[in-house]
Amino acid sequence: MSLVPFDDRDGWIWLDGQFVAWRDAKVHVLTHGLHYGSSVFEGERMYGGEIFKLTEHTERLFKSAEILDFEIPYTVAEIDEACKATAAKNGLTDCYVRPIAWRGSEMIGVSAQQSKIHVAIATWEWPSYFDPETKARGIRLTWAKYNRPSPTSAPTAAKAAGLYMICTISKHAAEKDGYADAMMLDYRGYVAEATGANVFFVKDGVIHTPTPDCFLDGITRRTVIELAEKRGYKVVTRFIEKPELAEFSECFIVGTAAEVTPVSEVGEFRFTPGKISLTLMDDYARLVRRELVDA
């Protein structure tokens, strides 16, 4: 399948309050966000004409900007409406939604207080990250080379572009070796998350998930916990050591892109997609398409 570059597509992108033809939505090469990572973003999905947890995503975008010491020049409600309008402008009802905010090109140096804050929103068709057959079988993960940093070393509570550098490196290495993704440890050596998704494990009918104190407590993560508890499953949030993976029977990752995806392998550890993983995968799919009452 040929690659369709993201800078050469038909459609419209919302940029600083107005719609711009897709190919004309550009920034200067000396943009601060490009050189210094002063950029925050969100990943959202629209299902059947509604963006799932839209306001929660927008509020997190604003919080991320605050952590990176800049203010988005719009309200949460304005960005919510712009996200919906962008999907409509492009004629999409099932799509991926990407709002992003960044420091502009007025100043190019570590210090950039006077730089303008820009905001853009793009939407595009993006089917499920993994096909149903692959999901049911479970994806294979290897171990990442890099660990998630300490919150005293990086702004880990922000969904900031710079924090994904080690994720890209790790995912590329995993795919080169035939894996779908990589599992990351945190700075203490505890199990953290995949490169773009939170992780859950199952042991004796109880669900365990890492404490998100140095990586994002994902919106999908919180949704899945609510779905699990609604089903009567006990969910334990705690620090998980790598050797413990030998004791778990099921594993699955969750995120806006991954949705709920069972895992069959993490490095030397093996799992079998079972009742809990598959039930929550189905529950989440029904919830986002409004076939299930909100958790």
Catalytic residues: 159
CA dihedral (34, 100, 24, 93) in degrees, to 10, reads: 150
Helix ranges (H only) for the chain are: 32-36, 54-67, 76-89, 132-137, 165-176, 219-230, 275-288
Rounded to whole angstroms, how far apart are CA atoms 57 and 112?
26
Reduce the DSSP state of residue 263 to 3 states and report it.
Answer: strand
Q: Cβ of 41: how many Cβ atoms within 10 Å?
A: 16
Tokens of 290: 């409004």
Residues 6+ apart with CB under 8 A from 170: 144, 145, 146, 182, 184, 195
Q: How many CA atoms lie within 13 A of 30 on its CB side?
A: 8
Rounded to whole angstroms, how far apart are CA atoms 295 and 276?
16
